[in-house]
Amino acid sequence: MTDNLPLRGKVALVTGAARGIGRAYALRLAKRGADVAVVDFDLHSYKDYQLEAASMRGDTVVDEIREIGMRALGFQADVTDATTLNEAVQQIVGEWGRLDIAICNAGGGVGSPEETRASIVEKDLVDVVVARNLTGTIHTCQAVAVPMKEQRSGKIVTVGSQAGHRIADNGGYAHYGAAKAAVAKYTQYLARDLGPFGVTVNCVAPGYISTGRLAPILSALGDAQLLDDVPLGRYGTPEDCAGVIEFLSSDLSDYVTGAIIPVDGGLTYS
Ligand code: NDP
């Protein structure tokens, strides 16, 4: 008989989990038996998007995790603030005794495609996007590496993007693509660093994933044109991404580290 709770007894941290793909990661890990702590600027950020709000089954993802039957902790914090993040990790380990899985999902882009072309994107946009995606990921990894090194085990997953590999036709979002490429490369350095401690470090690189925030933006850009580049012919879902996170968080992936795994319906490499 297969065990439907492969993460039983594990403790996980997911950043940027108030809505969207990060929320799907947190709920999937809880459904597989993990206790889950979440970090987000605002645990009610789903309220900004009608489709996200409509999918909620509790006041916040923390309540949803508890509804599944697992323990949950919620932190309203900015992952670019290393001190706060270290304190959150210390609290998780203090309360639950360990930390096995960290999904560094907080991130995203800022600015329009037109104003973020490589030759003109302004410094303030570059600073925000590099901080949110690269610096926040580094802080999260460094905070969780402390208990994982002590345990001599752990699974870290960072979140890149197809934009870290593939240049958009319109040339926009250069700052985001560069930051996500850096996340992928940092992941590989970290895998080399933490391998001797029994910690795996991998990166998922989503393609076009339809969330409550992104669905209207994708439609405005042109669904038919975008999907023409996707061999599977559809947008991804947060659940598509959560499946790969489940794999990278479980012992099925014990001999996988330093990998950058596209979750993109074939967009990146076809
Ligand atoms: P969303 O913007 O819907 O959700 C991200 C959540 O993280 C938001 O609540 C956001 O808060 C929060 N957040 C952002 N920065 C920080 C920070 N510094 N500290 C704490 N919380 C933060 O994103 P998605 O679910 O679409 O994407 C999740 C991840 O996947 C991101 O890293 C994104 O770059 C990546 N990705 C997404 C793709 C997609 O198609 N959706 C494609 C490729 C990659 P706030 O609302 O205030 O910004």
Distant-in-sequence, close-in-space partners of 205: CB < 8 Å, separation ≥ 6: 159, 160, 161, 162, 164, 165, 180, 184, 260, 261, 262, 263, 264, 268
Entry field: residues in the chain = 270
pLDDT at 2: 54
Domain count, the chain: 1
Give the number of the atom of ligand 1 that is nearest the alpha carbon of residue 212: 3
CA 22 to chain centre: 6
Residue 16 in contact with ligand 1 by CB distance below 6 A? yes
pLDDT in tens, 91-100: 999 999 999 9
Atom of ligand 1 nearest to the CA of 159: 32
Q: In this structure, what CATH number is given to the domain that contains residue 143? A: 3.40.50.720
**Residue 3 banded pLDDT, cuts 50, 70, 90:** low
- Tell whether ligand 1 has an atom less than 6 A from the beta carbon of residue 157: no
- Does a structural domain hold residue 6? no
Alpha carbon nearest to ligand 1 atom 11, residue = 41
Residue 161 lies inside a defined structural domain of this protein: yes
Please state, for a pLDDT cut of 90, what percent of the chain lies above it. 97
Kindly give the number of the ligand 1 atom that is closest to the alpha carbon of 176. Answer: 34
Is 46 labeled as catalytic in the residue annotation?
no
Residue 2 is assigned to a structural domain of this protein: no
Express each pLDDT in 218-267 by its tens digit. Answer: 999 999 999 999 999 999 999 999 999 999 999 999 999 999 999 999 99
Distance 213 CA to ligand 1 centre (A): 9
| Residue identifier of the C-alpha nearest atom 5 of ligand 1 | 16
In this prediction, residue 1 has a pLDDT band, given cuts at 50, 70 and 90, of very low
265 lines ligand 1 (CB under 6 A): no
Q: Is 79 in the pocket of ligand 1 (CB under 6 A)?
A: yes
Give residue 173 CA to ligand 1 midpoint distance, Å: 15
Active-site residue among 173, 176, 208, 235? 176
pLDDT of residue 224: 97
Q: Is residue 15 part of a domain?
A: yes
* Mean pLDDT for all residues in the chain: 97
Q: Using a cut of 0.95, tell me whether the model's pTM lies above it.
A: yes
Give the model confidence (pLDDT) of 175-190 as tens digits: 999 999 999 999 999 9
| Average confidence (pLDDT) over 33-55 | 98
Q: Which pLDDT value is given to residue 4?
A: 84
Domain for residue 254, yes or no? yes
CA of 144 to the centre of ligand 1 (A): 20
Residue % of the chain over a pLDDT of 70: 99
CA of 250 to the centre of ligand 1 (A): 23
Q: Is the CB of 34 under 6 A from ligand 1?
A: no
| Residue pLDDT, tens place only, 140-167 | 999 999 999 999 999 999 999 999 999 9
Range of the domain at 255: 11-261
In a domain, 4, yes or no: no
Residue 267 lies in a domain: no
147 lines ligand 1 (CB under 6 A): no
The answer on pLDDT for 28 being more than 90 is: yes
Ligand 1 midpoint to CA 26 (Å): 13
Q: How confident is the model at residue 170 (pLDDT cuts 50, 70, 90)?
A: confident
- The stretch 4-23 carries a mean pLDDT of 97
**Domain membership flag for residue 58:** yes
